[in-house]
Every structure is written in structure tokens, then in C-alpha cells.
Amino acid sequence: MIDKLAQHIRKIVDLSANEEAELSDFFDVRTFDKKEKMLEAGSRCNDHFFIVEGCARMFFVNSKGVEHTVQFAIENWWITDYSVFGRHVTTDFFIQGIERTEVLVINFQRQEELYRRMPKIERYFRLIYQRAYAASQFRTKYLFGYSKEQIYRHFNDAFPDFTGRVPQHLLASYLNMTPEYLSEIKNKVDLNPD
């Protein structure tokens, strides 16, 4: 399992075979069933997840009891609630496998220890967070500046695997539209793919 993460890290920094072995001591391997919770609202958030295989989503439940999906994570993505990760406050989010999902888990204290032992890992996470933040700036632009059809077309172009893989009511929630409206748009886009 650690080889998947090592491959991902090597796209950014060098990593020797010894360092890969050392890295594996910092992580636990876990498998979550479909719908099983990796993080629960109301609890502390001390774990950082790297998706090896499968797909997870992060969501919260608003005051009316409605679930809102704010993020998906597929293979090679990291996910946690960064606002409270490692802090003495509880999260408002759930993270849940939407299919059977294998992850590597590192907790906050071990991640800090990893930075001390292998400073090059700071560079890796500096780039991971920079890209995550960039994606969120980009998403904000779409949410504010484009029609729902344009948002769906963009999402479908950028992540073609996603739109088929993710249950449609969850995709609708992520795109902030009703499942019925998403279905209408999908039909329209299928007929006019340009």
C-alpha cells in the first residue's frame, strides 16, 4: 500500500527505498466499507487520509437536517477537515466511503514527527496544500460566475471518471443543485456535448 503513496511523493520529491520503508512506519492501513464513516461530526479530527483505492466524500448536515457534500476524494487525494485537524476542537464534518475505500492514515502527531525526520516531506505537503487551495479558488470562481449547466460541463470535462462513478444525488449536492435538475442538465449535455 505504501508504494502508492511513495509513487505520488516521487512526482514531487526524491525518495530512496530506505526512506520509503521508513515512511511506512508512520502510516496505518485501513479499509472502510461503503457508507462507513472515517470521520464523524462532533468528534475530534486527528487523522489525515490518503486514498489508495476507492472514493470518499466530506459532508455536513445543515440546521434543516439536509446533507451537503463539500468535497470528493479519489485515488491519490488527501482528505481531512483542515480547520480542526490536530486541534482541541470538534469537527462539523463527516467523511464517508462512497464505495469500499482503502486508505493510508497518519495522525497529526505522527505527521509532525514525519516533518522532523524527513524535512523533504514539508515540500511534498506544501505542494499538496497549494494545489488544494488553488482548486478551491477555481471552484469559487465557477460557483459564483457560471450557470449550473456550465458548472456541470466543466466538472464533467475536468473529471470525466467522476461523473459516472459518484452517485448522482451526491454529485447534485456537491454542485448545489437538485438531483432532478442535474438529470435535466446531463440529458441536455449528452445531446449537445460541445
160 binds a copy of itself (CB under 8 A): no
Binding a copy of itself (rule: CB under 8 A), the pick from 72, 93, 94, 152 is 93
CB of 160 to a copy of itself, least distance (A): 20
94 interacts with a copy of itself by CB under 8 A: no
Q: Which of 161, 168, 160, 170 is closest to 185 using CA atoms?
A: 168
Q: State which of residues 3, 36, 122, 161 lies at the interface with a copy of itself (CB under 8 A).
A: 122
Q: Which of 10, 141, 169, 188 binds a copy of itself (CB under 8 A)?
A: 141
Closest CB to a copy of itself among residues 21, 134: 134
Residue 92 is a binding residue for a copy of itself (CB under 8 A): yes
Q: In angstroms, what CA-CA distances link 59 with 9, 44, 95, 130? A: 27, 16, 7, 22
**Long-range contacts, stretch 142-150, CB < 8 angstroms, 24+ apart:** 143/176, 148/175, 148/176, 148/177, 148/181, 148/185, 149/185, 149/188, 149/189
User: What cell numbers appear for 65 in the block?
Assistant: 437536517
The H-assigned helical ranges of the chain are 2-10, 17-24, 108-117, 120-145, 148-158, 160-165, 168-174, 179-191
Which of 123, 158, 160, 178 is in the footprint of a copy of itself by CB under 8 A? 123
Binding segment (CB under 8 A) for a copy of itself, from list 22-30, 100-108, 116-124, 158-166: 116-124
Of residues 58 through 77, those in contact with a copy of itself by CB under 8 A are 60, 62-63, 68, 70-71
Query: Is residue 158 a contact residue for a copy of itself (CB under 8 A)?
Result: no
Interaction site with a copy of itself (CB under 8 A):
60, 62-63, 68, 70-71, 81-83, 85, 92-93, 115, 119, 122-123, 125-126, 129-138, 140-141, 143-146, 176
